[in-house]
Amino acid sequence: MNLLSVMPGDSFLHRLNPVTKLAAAFLYGIGCILCDSIAMEVVFILLMLLISASAGLLPRALALTRRLLVLGLFMFVIQLLFVRTGAPLLSLGGVTLVTTGGLRSALLLSLRVVATMLPLMLFFAVTQMNDLCNALVKRLHLPYRYAFIITTAFRFVPLFSSEFAEIQDAQRARGVDFETKNLVRKVKLVAPLCVPLLVSSLKKVNSSAISAELRGFEMRGRESGYKEYPFGKNDALALALLVLMVALCAALL
């Protein structure tokens, strides 16, 4: 499953202005960062899963949560081993391994990673990059050149990911076994694949640039797009709720 591709729909989330969606994802993330309660971070994750379900994105949200939990687990272990505040919780041969402060910090940080990243990742599921680009130009008056750079960077991520999968398949077909558990060996096997990926990426970027120039890229401005991106009541409601959430989180600090 490509976890960054758009999932079309007509839900409340889908119908929001792309700029609102981007702002909402960031505000939700800021709220999660400001929040200092493990229980609240869990609530934020569950709330985001509920919101995703309302837009028909629950399977995607669950898949993303699973992936983010792996990242969270990594943060958890680091925090657990390196934060030394609070009372000792686990000792071995006189050496304190885990403290209460370490455990709390590890749980909080790992859940915060999931809660913060989830809305940003789900933003890609409900927003066409073209719409985001046009809305940034029309509503925020961002020069097209910069809006294009931002959205193209996002758009190329799944392209490069599928290109990398193809390259990996080609090497597998030549007898390379990537299914090793030895991390060093895995890095050694994957590193040479950067060469074809880089070559194909440069070629793709070059041909995309030429293609854009030939279609009058330089002439595009705020008035070039026929589609309008008005802010509606729903946008105001969504933003108001999120600003309130951030304010509450800041007040509870």
Catalog residues that contact other proteins under the rule CB under 8 A: 1, 163, 166-167, 169-179, 192-193, 195-196, 199-200, 203
* Residue with smaller CB distance to other proteins, 84 or 188: 188
Distances (CA, A) of 183 to 103, 190, 197: 27, 10, 21
Q: Quick one: tokens of 29?
A: 């993330």
Integer Cα distance of 109 and 67 in angstroms: 16
If the CB atoms of residues 93 and 175 are measured against other proteins, the closer one turns out to be: 175
Phi, psi torsion values for 119, nearest 5 degrees: -65, -35
Pick 64 or 103: Cβ nearer other proteins:
64
Q: How far is the CB of 208 from other proteins (least distance, A)?
A: 16
How far is residue 163's CA from residue 156's CA, in Å, rounded to a whole number?
10
**Alpha helix (H) residue ranges in the chain:** 12-15, 18-34, 38-54, 58-82, 100-126, 129-140, 144-172, 183-190, 194-214, 233-251
Q: Which lies closer to other proteins via its Cβ, residue 1 or residue 219?
A: 1
Q: What's the min distance (Å) between Cβ of 194 and other proteins?
A: 9
Name the minimum Å distance from CB 53 to other proteins: 19
> What is the smallest separation between the CB atom of 54 and other proteins, expressed in angstroms?
21
Q: Which is nearer to other proteins, 10 or 177 (CB)?
A: 177
